[in-house]
């Protein structure tokens, strides 16, 4: 399954919400914009196996770009926003990206990195600080992302080969290394996605799932779990910046069912005064997944005492 199915059934349902800015993208908007971007890239000469690099803070556009690649046989390489311009340029060059999409709040890094990427054919920027259809700041020398998207047809082609992501290691033992899996031999709407089948099944995810991760979307887990959620018709909640108390407020406000954390998130939430933690209703949670680092037993026990026996 993919956004087109849910856009037809529940067009006004949020596909993604950025909790600390209030930005919302519905399934109808996600379907239209990702189709337009996919068609615009095809019209620009992109073919199966080409790569689009993405340098962005957490924003609704991340999933538009991701699904545009997933529905047009392209690879998406999201780049760590905390890297230096030289490190960003290395990844963009190494993955062979023909296009770079960047958020305007990263203008300095994006501009400096682009200067070292001679093979880039398209560079686009958007401003995540404005609403859909509004014109914000742009990066000098970059094309306008919204105009490029609008140039593409909103009609989905008959064949939409499933794309993939190409993610990079953290580079702790040298230069970051890209992991480039083969493109699946199926259409984007065909069943059989391993992430949806394995993780969606393991964690009982479905159309009523409300998935929240405060981590950057350039990481594998929040990006792919977001894709799983949207494949199944649920809602993704993210934030631009982690704030322990705000996370609890968002869980209560949106009746979040699934969350994903690293142990540091747990530690910072547990440091909140007891009266603050008790102020928020987290009873909607059914699954809290933690990864990326070992979780100290005393921290995990404290979280289970608080959230219940739902940690994975």
Band of residue 130 on the pLDDT scale cut at 50, 70, 90: low
CATH number at 199-307: 3.40.50.980
- Rounded to two decimals, the pTM is 0.94
Average pLDDT over residues 105-133: 88
Q: Does the pLDDT at position 1 exceed 80?
A: no
Give the CA distances from residue 257 to residues 244, 279, 285, in Å, rounded to whole numbers and listed in that order. 17, 18, 4
CA atoms within 13 A on the CB side of 67: 28
Average pLDDT over residues 123-133: 76
Rounded distance between C-alpha atoms, residue 213 and residue 137, angstroms: 27
Domain residue extents for the chain? 27-189, 199-307
Comparing 27-189 with 199-307, is the CATH topology the same?
yes
Show Cβ contacts of residue 191 under 8 Å, excluding neighbours closer than 6 positions. 1
Q: Does the pLDDT at position 293 exceed 90?
A: no
Q: How far apart are the first and last CA of the chain?
A: 25
Percent of the chain at pLDDT > 90 equals 85
The tokens describing 231, both together, are 């494949």
pLDDT digits (tens, 9 = 90+) for 180-225: 999 999 999 888 888 898 999 999 999 999 999 999 999 999 999 9
| CATH 3.40.228.10 given to domain 27-189 | no
Band of residue 127 on the pLDDT scale cut at 50, 70, 90: confident
């Amino acid at each position: 399954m993919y956004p087109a199915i849910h856009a037809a059934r529940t067009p006004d349902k949020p596909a993604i919400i950025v909790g600390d800015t209030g930005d919302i993208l519905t399934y109808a908007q996600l379907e239209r914009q990702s189709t337009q971007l996919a068609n615009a890239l095809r019209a620009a000469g992109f073919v199966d196996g080409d790569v689009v690099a993405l340098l962005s803070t957490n924003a609704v556009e991340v999933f538009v770009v991701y699904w545009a690649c997933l529905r047009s046989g392209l690879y998406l390489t999201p780049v760590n926003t905390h890297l230096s311009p030289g490190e960003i340029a290395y990844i963009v060059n190494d993955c062979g990206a023909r296009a770079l999409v960047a958020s305007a709040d990263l203008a300095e890094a994006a501009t400096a990195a682009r200067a070292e990427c001679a093979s880039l054919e398209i560079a686009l920027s958007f401003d995540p600080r404005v609403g859909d259809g509004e014109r914000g700041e742009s990066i000098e020398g970059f094309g306008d992302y919204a105009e490029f998207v609008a140039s593409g047809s909103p009609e989905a082609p008959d064949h939409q080969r499933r794309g993939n992501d190409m993610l990079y290691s953290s580079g702790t033992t040298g230069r970051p290394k890209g992991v480039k899996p083969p493109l699946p031999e199926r259409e984007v709407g065909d069943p059989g996605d391993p992430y949806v089948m394995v993780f969606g099944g393991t964690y009982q995810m479905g159309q009523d799932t409300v998935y929240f991760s405060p981590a950057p979307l350039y990481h594998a887990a929040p990006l792919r779990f977001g894709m799983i959620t949207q494949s199944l018709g649920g809602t993704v909640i993210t934030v631009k910046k982690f704030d322990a108390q705000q996370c609890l407020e968002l869980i209560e406000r949106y009746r979040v069912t699934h969350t994903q954390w690293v142990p540091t998130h747990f530690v910072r939430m547990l440091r909140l005064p007891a009266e603050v933690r008790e102020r928020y209703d987290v009873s909607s949670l059914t699954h809290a997944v933690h990864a990326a680092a070992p979780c100290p037993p005393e921290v995990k026990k404290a979280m289970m005492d608080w959230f219940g026996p739902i940690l994975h």
